Amino acid sequence: MKSRRIILLSLLLVAAVALRAEVTVTSLKTDYKSNPLGIDNPVPRLSWIIQSDLMSTMQETYEIRAALSEKDLQRGKNLLWETGKVATSQSIHVEYGGSPLQSFQRIYWQVRVKDNHGKASKWSEAAWWETGFMTGTQWEADWISPTWKENIKESNPSPYLRKTFKLDTEIKEARLYITCHGLYQVEINGKRIGEQEFTPGWTSYDTRLQYQTYDVTENLRQDLNALGIILGDGWFRGNLGWQEGGNIWGTEVAALAQLRVTYSDGSTEIISTDGSWKASTGPILKSDIYNGEVYDATKELTGWSKPDYDDSDWKPVKIAEISKEKLIAPEGPPVKIINELESLSIQKVGDDWMVDMGQNMVGWIRIKASGKKGDQLTLKHAEILDKEGNMYYENLRKAECTNSYVLKGGAEETFEPHFTFQGFRYVMVSGYPGTLTADDIRGMVIHSDMEPSGSFTCSDPLINQLQHNIVWGLKGNFLDVPTDCPQRDERLGWTGDAQVFAPTACFNVDAATFYTKWLRDLEADQDADGSIPHVIPNILGHGGATGWADAGIMIPWAMYLDYGDVSVLKNQYESMKKWIGYMKQRAGEDLIWEGDPHFGDWLSFASNRSDYMGAYTSKDLIATAYYAYSSSIVARVANILGHEQDAAYYTGLSEKVRLAFNDEFVTPNGLLVAHTQTAYTLALAFDLLDKETAEKSAVYLAGDVEGFGHITTGFLGTPLISLTLTETGRNDLAYELLNRKEYPSWLYPVTMGATTIWERWDGQKPDSTFQNPGMNSFNHYAYGAIGKWMYQVVAGIGIDENIPGYKHIIINPRPGGGLTSAKATHESMYGTIASGWVVDGEHLTMEVKIPVNTSATIHIPAGAREIKINDSDVGESGFDFKEVNGQVVGKVGSGKYTIDCKLNQ
């Protein structure tokens, strides 16, 4: 009777809440972006988030409308697009279906929805997108370059370009469209435009060059104006990779800019780069990504971008014959200054000052100083100190990583470089006049401006520091392309590193547009025979390494799972098929890919120690395993895209390669010929074994982990081993690997003071000596791929691959490893997902949040009893929970859930 009264009161409470509840629509996005300026996608995709206090809320219908003015939108007049009510729960990636888009249009749009409880939202706040150059619209601007001859063997002084112009009519709005060969900064009337760094970005310059769009309405005046551009070498012609002298894409920097002014009377005027511009050099004497910048403030051109500046001694420019056909609007996020760090300590070292920023970071130092004209400051950067406490530079190889500043004298001066960045924790400042204090120096942290999308914490501070290191490794290497490292003479978009880390990246940041942009370059740089280069953009000229080139399949698949975005599969589908075709050609008729110089399980434990060759995994085994698995992924992609014949072909190919793999590499008793953790992990994770053999191989894998007592995997095995152990019933061993503090382990670098992920398991050895300086980065995110397991297994947030994009969420935390609590959040396309747990003796409490317009399957840990959900016994809670394989499992809708239970000890 009592329980019935409780249920009745609960139902009455729910009914009362339902009467007051409202459904609202927020967070409108166009191609993942809020109010994007200057896009060129003819069919943008629209997404939104729904908010409701009611449990189990789903969208039943939506309506979208769009117009060229916000006034018309609100009145519902002169609409470009009006969907009417569309019966669907789709609230992400809805394709624009209105009138064809034209160049330079701003489209305002809004949406309203109705939910399954009969609640209808109001029209949302208006959002907008604005188009740039759409297909068919030609640039009127000319490419321009300085007329002087540049030294093609080294960094040159940065050209300064300028033009004055007069606007006689009242200005309604103005847009600046600009790009360059090299890097640029742009100013109007003495003020820098925009907050973006390293524009126009790094792409496959032979085929794709981004331009940026800026709203400069407030920077112009109805009078005389000036537009100024500074150019730097950047990736285009600066030092890059190991090619002496740089100049990979060209020997000259150049600029292209078009200012479009719309007047209040509706007329427009174009001011653009042409032969009337002038050029000079100034204080930036050298600026190179690897080597740093030399800036002489005595050569500053005071007021150079103002209209009243005297440029009579400036030189004319020349028109450069450069194609405009490859110009594209940016898809990825811009690079910006994201954080500003204060120093942890400043120590006098002889005549110099050694500054510890407390964090291995990427960016540069902003420094203030007062001194005499001609005084020179020099800043040298390092990631780590040696055992004697000295700056350690050897692992930088040929990269000088040095910035120099010559003071002009007089008042206090502030210096920060323009077209270079460093990866560092420590800075040695030489030549500083006076005493350097914490107020004089700041660390300016830069990376691609991706929204944080995840958080992870637990009861172990060392694991929390590991999570911190994963995130800062991501920050340091997501600088327009996913680089391997940010400090030495490399900093390239290695495909293998990107491939293994992508799922972890997507947990921690919104990486959708970042990867979308990079994958376009991967497709552009792919060879005609299907081979995918080792680095993207391609500066090395060769590729075809399995596990690396498979980034062309694995990353689109990871994006599809995380964001539910079919378009990335459509965009990359032909590239995927070409890579499978290359693998098939290299493997030959026996389907075993052997003999090619693959990287294998890069930097595995065996590759570091000759006395542990038992941990070396055959490259042929790895190559064939990827051949089978990538083929199976392409089969699934073909099914999703509706290519039935392709799906059948790649399914059959994958099965044939799987059988060949078993014939070649698996003994009758289930033992792999390469008896290593990586071999068993790949075979099990890629589902290459039959059930009986898989069970035996799982035992062998566990036995190998127990035998070594630690991890032995490298770049390809490490991302998969923990989840493989968990899924084969040895979660205890997965936790043992996580908790291990001695080399090799994830926590060993943490105990050594690491603030980012290291390239090697033992970049710094226990005696504080170092690994081979030829390849020893202390900011290298690949081993941070453990982050996926931390989110998915420790905290319990997982993806249902059959219903991707977190439309259906798997909540399945597996407490262990001595942890007493863990919690993670993830900002999905639908809103915030949260999963956390606390263990107190035999008592377990789970806290779960499921966003509106999604559902979830919640797994309560095995051995749970006396289960209550939101204070009601599980059997009387009204939720559909039942026992499945020893676990209580239930399907729920959106809402917050508190689950209390006791665990068998």
Give the integer Cα–Cα distance in Å for 678 and 701: 9
Calculate the CA dihedral of residues 661, 664, 670, 675 and round it to 10 degrees.
-100
SS3 content of the chain, % helix, strand, coil (to 5): 25, 30, 40
Q: Are 552 and 532 in contact (CB under 8 A)?
A: yes
Calculate the CA dihedral of residues 475, 479, 483, 484 and round it to 10 degrees.
-40
Contacts of 858 (CB under 8 A, 6+ apart): 811, 812, 846, 848, 881, 889, 890, 891, 892, 897, 899
Q: Annotate 284-299 with three-state secondary structure.
A: EEEEECCCEEEEEHHH
Beta strands 191-192 and 183-188, pairing class: antiparallel
Give the integer Cα–Cα distance in Å for 876 and 535: 57
Q: Annotate 536-591 with three-state secondary structure.
A: CCCCCCCECCCCCCCHHHHHHHHHHHHHCCHHHHHHHHHHHHHHHHHHHHHHCCCC
The residue behind tokens 């219903």 is 803
Q: Are 61 and 83 in contact (CB under 8 A)?
A: no
Angle CA 99–105–107, to nearest 5: 65
Q: Are 484 and 534 in contact (CB under 8 A)?
A: no
The rounded Cα 550 to chain-centroid distance in angstroms is: 18
Longest C-alpha distance within the chain, in Å? 96
Catalytic machinery residues: 490, 759
- Tokens encoding 763: 């970049």
Per-residue CA distances from 698 to 626, 682, 711, 717, 793 (Å): 19, 11, 15, 15, 18
Give the integer Cα–Cα distance in Å for 22 and 220: 44
Give the integer Cα–Cα distance in Å for 855 and 143: 53
